[in-house]
Amino acid sequence: MSQSAPSLPDPRQYSATPPVNNDFLRQAGVILAATTADEKEMWQSALKSSLAEHLEREEMLPISVALAMADSQAVYRTLWQALGDALDGDTVVFALPLVLVAGSKGAARLPGELADPEGFASLLGRVGLVSDPARVAWLPQLLHPDTLAGVKSSQLYRLAQGSADAARDTLAALPAAPVSLSGEGVFLRYVVGVARRDANGELPIALSGAVGAWGMPLMQSLNAMLKTDGVTLFTIPRAPQALTAALVAGGQARHEVAMQVFASNRIRRLRELSLEPVAIASAHEGGELRFTLSARGDVKNWEGFVWPLSPLDSVPLIARQFAELMADCRVDDVRFVPQVAADKDGEVPVFFTADELSPAGAVIQ
């Protein structure tokens, strides 16, 4: 039976002994321990200034060490948010994540650039996402997440201090990333833009927040721009955010949609075979969550899905999303493994199926 409060342990490993001489870790700890809002704000400002000084000098090693050696997700999140604040200047580089659900019967290739970038920019103005399209410069190419992740924080800091034109010209050299597929897949690409704050510090584009009424017309426009013969395409745009935040949000959105596609396909297949689906969620050494859909007494028709956890992923949120997805799919037997499981059994990755777990409490047999 489904658990009323789905729960999974966090399998990520944090540093047991963070370096005592790293000022960023020390400051993050003080922020988390602050007892008043004023004290917290003071230390947040100090951490932001310290990070900005290192970014200015391109001294990235202490920042990288602090993020790698954080002893909790709360410390990591505090450092990450402060780094984002330090990268926020008069010129803002942002990205709009696109989750692409595509399918084809044979080999196919989606374009790596928008067919009508001017129409894209105009549409965002008409639907209210951009207040002044003339003040926003969009790159035409679709960028791979690895390409954006490769842009160094020190470079983003320099771009934030310079002109919007200089930032656009620098980013224009990033390579477009067409999507090659054969069969069905879920892919992630980004449309990157640059804008300059006005005299009041305001941007001409709404960053962060939820997808509003603009989501549907933008989806339809992007589907038309990326239309490819022989490919069924469903484009899911997410809200634009500052570049570092967009990388995190896009990765989470891509995995969430991929989990939905996996569940829909496998549940449909099991029911076509007159089998009742059993859903199992488990956390594994190495920092992964794994999900399976199988049936009792059947050893052939199960399938698994892997969610590799990034530092900012929320395990409780993902567990809840999976439980809600199974409820929407009318899967009654949903099991959550209460302890961290092994990564492999010998050389074989561990996935739990219906006959391997007790329905009550999902206790490993």
Domain residue spans of the chain: 23-86, 91-243, 273-356
H/E stretch holding 318: helix 315-328
CA angle at 95 for the pair 255 and 241, rounded to the nearest 5°: 80
pLDDT tens, 226-259? 999 999 999 999 999 999 999 999 999 999 999 9
Per-10-residue mean pLDDT of the chain, 365 residues long, equals 71 79 92 96 97 96 93 95 96 97 95 93 92 94 97 96 95 96 96 95 90 91 94 96 96 98 97 97 97 95 97 96 97 96 95 83 44
Place of tokens 């239309």: 227
Which residues neighbour 21 within 8 Å (Cβ) at sequence distance 6 or greater?
Answer: none
Give the integer Cα–Cα distance in Å for 199 and 291. 50
pLDDT of residue 21: 79
Give the integer Cα–Cα distance in Å for 252 and 232. 23
pLDDT of residue 364: 41
What residues does 143 pair with on adjacent strands? 190
pLDDT of residue 4: 56
H/E stretch holding 219: helix 215-225
pLDDT of residue 116: 92
Q: 326, 263 in Cβ contact below 8 A?
A: yes
CA 202 to chain centre: 26
pLDDT tens, 123-133? 999 998 999 99
Which residues neighbour 34 within 8 Å (Cβ) at sequence distance 6 or greater?
Answer: 40, 43
Tokens of 203: 């941007």
Which of helix, strand or coil describes residue 37?
Answer: helix
H/E stretch holding 236: strand 231-237
pLDDT tens, 285-294? 999 999 999 9
Tokens of 302: 């199960």
Give the integer Cα–Cα distance in Å for 361 and 14. 27
pLDDT of residue 123: 94
